[in-house]
Amino acid sequence: MAWVFVVLGGFFETAFAVSLKYSEGFRRLWPTVSFVACAVISFAFLTAGLRDLPVGTAYAAWTGVGAVGTALAGMIWFGDPAEFVRVASVLLIVAGVVGLNLTGSSAH
């Protein structure tokens, strides 16, 4: 269940990054409210995952899911370049997170 919490936290990390983009520097109310809500939820899920996972592994997975999700959102919705090197780099992030998971996840 801890991994589910970390992945969900990563999804909300993506949501808070996208909300931050839409907030236009905290000048738009509802995207700013969305940013704050998604950030709190994201950190709550990460915190729940940290109960059973090593901090380095959980944090790397959380940021990895958020980074990949945000990069994909940028490419899909904001017109960020989807060049080969950029996509390959996203895949390397995924490979790194999987590699950390394969090395074991005992908390202590």
Grouped pLDDT means (10 residues each) for the chain, 108 residues: 96 98 97 98 98 93 96 95 94 89 63
Residue 35: name the closest of 45, 44, 22, 47 by CA.
22
107 part of a folded domain: no
Query: What is the number of domains present in the chain?
Result: 1
- Domain residues for the domain of 50 are 2-102
Residue 56 lies in a domain: yes
**Alpha-helix residue ranges (DSSP H) falling in the chain:** 2-22, 29-50, 55-77, 84-102
- At residue 106, the pLDDT reads 54
pTM of whole model > 0.85?
yes
